[in-house]
Structure 1
Amino acid sequence: MKRRKFLKNSGLTAAGALSAPILSSYSNEMEESNKDVKKAAVRPITVCTWNFKNATAKSWEVLQAGGSSLDAVEQGVRVEEADVTNETVGKGGRPDRDGNVTLDACIMDKDGNCGSVVYLQNIAHPVSVARKVMEETPHIILAGRGAEKFAYEQGFKKEDLLTESTRKQYEEWKKTSKYETTINIENHDTIGMLAIDKNGDIAGACTTSGMAYKVAGRVGDSPIIGAGLFVDNEVGGATATGVGEEVIRTVGSFLIVELMRQGMSPQKACEEGVKRIMKKNKDRKDFQIGFLAINKQGETGGYCVHPGFTYRQYTEAGHENVPVNSFYQKN
């Protein structure tokens, strides 16, 4: 018994001694091979929710000139805030049930600094006010009249945010005062933007006028750091669009970035983000959510509840509108 045991152990020892250098050599070869096939990081790059090509074009212009990702996302979403034909963001946004246009926005830089404004009135560029909150105060969120007062102190001008078009739509809505969420490709009440500059630094911004004819005072996910937007410069960033209440319940953008930290691709992380929401809303179909994510390598991904959500992407390879898959497929 002792001899057999000795021979068995000797055999294992010899096998181990033989296999160790072989395995080590194999491991080194694989490591070298992986270095060869590993994709080069895509930078600069800018992406945004929905097909807002003018926004990504402006963001790309900043990046191409050597600007920071923070400047790129701010300037990019400002394009939509200023576009009165976009009735879901900034000036010309549809009002709440009381007839007031109230805007929400946030911004986040590579160092985790962030700023946000909620329920802001009479200011056309809430994203820039949010940046001022981040850079000029010890706070992260300013709301309502306080945010508006702060904006004036920072040199922003008071503007009437209702246009003739949105005013007429509001008067028509008041005839029935029906409150419902519309689910279709036009339900893009938010622009969320993420960018990586030539230095590999990530920033993000998100801005919206929120749901049309919402209850006065309602705030969705868009200005909430971790819900509508989150950036971690070591990992990547994520942003959301759609019915904000559902994104807030899962802290959606933070969740997606953490999933990427654990090794998921941006695409898989967005899919998991939507699936987490749908687990809490089994068989429910009366709302839309869209997630967009980017990782440190410049890989992107998106996923949504219903078909129709897309994201716009601009890199050296070109400027394209990217359709995404959905939890509920087309009939």
Structure 2
Amino acid sequence: MPTTLAAQLAALELGHFSIASDPGARPLARPEPEAIDQTLAAVWSDLFALFTDTILEDQAEELGWGFVNLFHRAAAKASTRIDRATDEIRLLLATNDGSEVHTAELEQQVERAQAAEGEMLALEALRETAAALYLAETGSSWKPAGGSRLSHDAVSTSAVVQGREFLKARAEGKRRAAMPEGTPVIFAGGRLSFGSADDAKAYGDAIWRTLDRVRANVADMVLVHGGDGKGADRLAASWAERHKIPQIAFSLDTRLGARAGFRRNEQMLGLKPRYVVAFAGNGVLERLVIQAKERGIAVVDRRGPLGTNPKHHARTSGEAVAA
């Protein structure tokens, strides 16, 4: 006779059994937004107070990034579970035989997808609150190390019962997350170095001031940029997050080598933007401005020193010399 618990379990030959939670028995209510705000703000405050005046103070920004990333990764895992359930729903619909067993299995997969979707939306809400705390602490917009920071439609498909309707709603939700509704405005700018902190601040102020003016003309603005975490894109992304402006970041496809930047230009211009806001950058950016003008897209040109209009700067410089 087996004496250990492991041996007894092995003797029972339970390999054909699986343990799965009943989605219908799980609570589907998500945490209240006010509770999320208060709880994460308290945790964040205590966490960073712990680092102040310690050897970890210089690591605070990186640790804060990791705090936000906890929720981002968990939401991504929930999204993967939705995708798996969605594949099962699609397969069951394709092989539908009208039997009660088949119908019950389809309903179970829809319930699993709904439960995972509720988790994903709740975790995304936690991530966005944590990202706002990160922005307030560091002055920078939070972005994941890889992939995209998508926020799915707040209108959940959890009310959907039929498999085909769930698939349609899921596809629409993913489309909206990847491509927010609104009028695209491209922002482009490179990495610059400055002679003083005052110059750097003046440049950052110029970016925010310019985007404020563009937004005044485009109420449903969607900011499109390259997602650079260290250059002008970072300043523009921070502005967008503070003003709750949807963003689309087009990262470089490194597999294309030197062609990557030009390919990104084509993708961004393919959105048919209302404006291209251009600050100083490299030759790829210059090409973006040329292509935008060729397509009749208005260019807000701020490629002069410290984010000024180059024509205005040249005119005022000439007047100063003449004087």
TM-score (norm 2): 0.26
Q: Which has the larger radius of gyration?
A: 2
TM-score (norm 1): 0.26
* Structure with the bigger percentage of strand: 1
* Structure with the bigger percentage of helix: 2
